[in-house]
Amino acid sequence: MKKKTITSLLIILAVIICLIIAQRTLDSFSLRILNLSGVYIIFAVSMNLINGFTGQLTLGHAGFIAVGAYTYSLLIMDSDLKQMNFFLKPLISPLDTLQLGFFPAMIIAGLLAALTGFLVGAPALRLRGDYLAIATLGFGEIIRIIFTNTQSITNGSLGLKGIPKPDNFFFIKMDNSLMWWIWVAAIITVVFHLLLIDSSYGRAFKAIREDEKAAQAMGVSLFKHKVMAMVISSFFAGIGGALLASLIGTIDPLMFRFTLTYNILLIVVIGGMGSTSGATISAIVVTVLMEALRFLDQGFLGLPELPGLRMVVFAILLLIVVLFYPKGIMGNEELTWSKLRRLFGKPFAAKEVNR
Amino acid sequence: MLKINNLHVHYGGIHALRGISLEVPKNKIITLIGANGAGKSTTLRSICGLVPKTDGTIVFEGEDITSLKTTEIVKRGVTLVPEGRHVFPDLTVLENLKLGAYLRTDKSEINKDINRVYELFPRLKERKDQLAGTLSGGEQQMLAIGRALMSRPRLLMMDEPSLGLAPLIVQDVFKIIQQIHNEGMTILLIEQNASAALQIADYGYVLETGSIVLEGTGKELLNNQEVKKAYLGQS
């Protein structure tokens, strides 16, 4: 157990060192992709909690992300900026003058998303399987449509522009403080989920996924745990939404369509339903590929410009994963040293005395 | 210990239990026998609060548990080994056992109980890191029983523990049931294998289409002509 803690701390340290190096060497475009990967890690790991670990197929993640993104944006913008944005219909008070710091705005964004998760989950989680998927998909769309139509709160389809980035990281002024916020949030998300899954709550979540009848007979309250997973999942989705809004700087309701949920689901399925490390790895791979494959859209090998061609690659990738790795790259297991050793063969194994 | 009085259960339009009354005294094995659809499983499931009841009362150790939620009922010491085993296939044997102790918070005692279960079922110890879904049917049944014991039940209810097992394994399972009973456990057992169940039972009830038609000690029922004819395949 203690060895596990030490290795975990070492991994976190390694990530931080990589980030420091990245910050010094990478150009702003690559840094942006790096940050986007961090945000997608938060999305994928949180969605995996309810879909992968608890086994409840829900498709409303984009809605919770939207709640987080809008809450954060409305709390962080100053009143001048708000006036500039809301030129068609003024923003209702007290939101028009309210301004908070980065950290409280982000936490409130998470909490409001969690509340939304509760309001959606409490009725929807009484359903199962396909019905649950369709109901949550519907709720996600409803959230987006409400945001499109509440002009005096969200500025409707005009969206919000010029969302400021944080200029400090816990009161330390830094050039790239957003990167640190995003990655610290991502690390906390991953560690929190790993610990949660290892706890008795995590076992209860998995028990529900495996066999609801038996879980119930063991005294696991199905409804309570499903809603709990949903609330935690949407809290982190909200935090991720806040960071996404801060990173991109402009949000509008069209960003939070079903395609966003689909992209996250793609990451989760490729990574392995029920594997936090799988979701983490696949979030980075997919986000980087999404940018790296952009040349496909711009026309290559004499082909005409075809926007969206790179998405075909992901469709094929998903097909391959479903056909050959039906459980995703990690299945429902976590990445451990012993597995890495097996993967890289004997030269490493020789050095290890025991686990 | 457990007293059921005039219990009625409806599934949609079907009147599944039509006023059942039975009693489970402390430290005894009580068995319910009957054909498919007689209402045996429904009885157990309604004791656990898994099925809504239309009428009647269930009293456990002097407390009315009729309208309590399953979680509360399990907390009070009533645990069900569900029909068809229902182990958690993608979790390891150890995780399965830990889930049995889900409502308990006494960590050191839980570890002691895990060792007790391993003593009772040495097979499970050998396979503690194996996924439960890869165990054989008999091993899964042992895991299901072990998992139920992990909640430290005072009343253990078993729904068809011999279902789908090879005859030799069935014998083992019944031996284990008796062993657990000898250690002082109160057991409510449901079986289609009526002769095996009645042989180890102190008292038995015969269920037919939702009502109790016959009751008596295990021996009495074993020697009863009607039971012989209907459930034991003798005449």
A330 domain-assigned: no
A8 domain-assigned: no
Taking Cα atoms as reference points, which of A49, A51, A43 lies closest to residue A287?
A: A43
A297 domain-assigned: no
Contact A219 B71 (CB under 8 A): yes
Chain B contact set for A331 (CB, 8 A): none
pLDDT at B112 over 60: yes
Chain A residue closest in CA terms to B72: A219
Could you give the C-alpha distances from A64 to A100, A115, A141, B188, in angstroms and in order?
A: 21, 9, 10, 47
Domain count of the fold of chain A: 1
**Dihedral pair phi/psi, residue B208, rounded to 5°:** -140, 125
Q: Which of B75, B82, B91 sits opposite A217 (nearest CB)?
A: B82
How does the average pLDDT of chain A come out, rounded? 88
A144 domain-assigned: yes
Chain A contact set for B80 (CB, 8 A): 217
What percentage of residues in chain A have a pLDDT greater than 90?
54
Taking Cα atoms as reference points, which of A284, A114, A274 lies closest to residue A186?
A: A284
pLDDT recorded at residue A156: 87
Q: With DSSP H G I counted as helix, E B as strand and the rest as coil, what are the percentages for chain A, rounded to 5? A: 70, 0, 25
pLDDT at B29 over 80: yes
pLDDT at B235 over 70: no
C-alpha A215/C-alpha B147 separation (Å) is: 11
Say whether A245 sits in a helix, a strand or coil.
helix
- The residue extents of the domains of chain B are 2-84+153-231
| Mean pLDDT of all residues in A12-35 | 89
CATH number of B2-84+153-231: 3.40.50.300
**Cβ–Cβ contact B106 with A under 8 A:** no
A75 domain-assigned: yes
Residue type, A238: G
| Mean pLDDT of all residues in A248-252 | 94
pLDDT recorded at residue A355: 37
Comparing B114 with A28, the larger pLDDT belongs to B114
Q: Between A and B, how many CB-CB pairs are < 8 A? A: 71
Residue type, A201: Y
Interface probe for A, chosen from B99, B130, B135, B156 (most Cβ of A below 10 Å), is B99
**Cβ–Cβ contact B111 with A under 8 A:** no
CA angle, corner B59, sides to B56 and B60, nearest 5?
150
A177 domain-assigned: yes
Interface probe for B, chosen from A218, A327, A336 (most Cβ of B below 10 Å), is A218
pLDDT at A348 over 60: no
Which of A:212-231 have CB within 8 Å of B? 213-221
Say whether B220 sits in a helix, a strand or coil.
helix
Chain B contact set for A200 (CB, 8 A): 98, 102
Tens digit of each residue's pLDDT (9 = 90 or more) over A197-215: 988 899 999 999 999 988 9
A164 domain-assigned: yes
What residue numbers bound the domain in which A51 lies? 30-257
pLDDT recorded at residue A47: 96
**Dihedral pair phi/psi, residue B4, rounded to 5°:** -110, 130
Task: Using pLDDT thresholds of 50, 70 and 90, give the confidence band for residue A344.
Answer: low
A279 domain-assigned: no
Q: Which residue bears the tokens 């696949």? A: A282
Tens digit of each residue's pLDDT (9 = 90 or more) over A161-190: 999 888 878 777 777 889 999 999 999 999
pLDDT recorded at residue A352: 43
Chain B residue closest in CA terms to A220: B71
Tens digit of each residue's pLDDT (9 = 90 or more) over B123-167: 999 999 999 999 998 899 999 999 999 999 999 999 999 888 888
Q: Which residue bears the tokens 């309570």? A: A224
Residue A152 and residue A90 in contact, taking contact as beta carbons nearer than 8 Å: yes
pLDDT at A354 over 50: no
Q: What is the largest CA-CA distance in chain B?
A: 54
Tens digit of each residue's pLDDT (9 = 90 or more) over B55-110: 999 999 999 999 899 999 999 999 999 888 889 999 999 999 999 999 888 888 99
Task: Using pLDDT thresholds of 50, 70 and 90, give the confidence band for residue B187.
Answer: very high
**Cβ–Cβ contact A211 with B under 8 A:** yes
| Mean pLDDT of all residues in A72-92 | 87
C-alpha B197/C-alpha B158 separation (Å) is: 11
DSSP string, A312-326: HHHHHHHHHHHHH-T
Q: Is residue A170 left, alpha or beta, with left meaning phi > 0 and alpha meaning psi from -120 to 50?
A: left
Contact A206 B95 (CB under 8 A): yes
**Cβ–Cβ contact A326 with B under 8 A:** no
Interface probe for A, chosen from B88, B103, B114, B149 (most Cβ of A below 10 Å), is B88
How does the average pLDDT of chain B come out, rounded? 90
C-alpha A317/C-alpha A109 separation (Å) is: 34
Task: Using pLDDT thresholds of 50, 70 and 90, give the confidence band for residue A351.
Answer: very low
- Count of beta carbons in the 10 Å neighbourhood of residue B82: 24
| Mean pLDDT of all residues in B198-202 | 91
ipTM above 0.90, yes or no: no
pLDDT recorded at residue A1: 56
pLDDT at A341 over 90: no
Tens digit of each residue's pLDDT (9 = 90 or more) over A90-135: 888 788 888 898 999 999 999 999 999 999 999 999 998 899 999 9
| Mean pLDDT of all residues in A320-330 | 85
Contact B88 A216 (CB under 8 A): no
Taking Cα atoms as reference points, which of A231, A267, A228, A247 lies closest to residue A69?
A: A247
Candidate ranges A24-28, A192-196, A339-343; pick with highest mean pLDDT:
A192-196
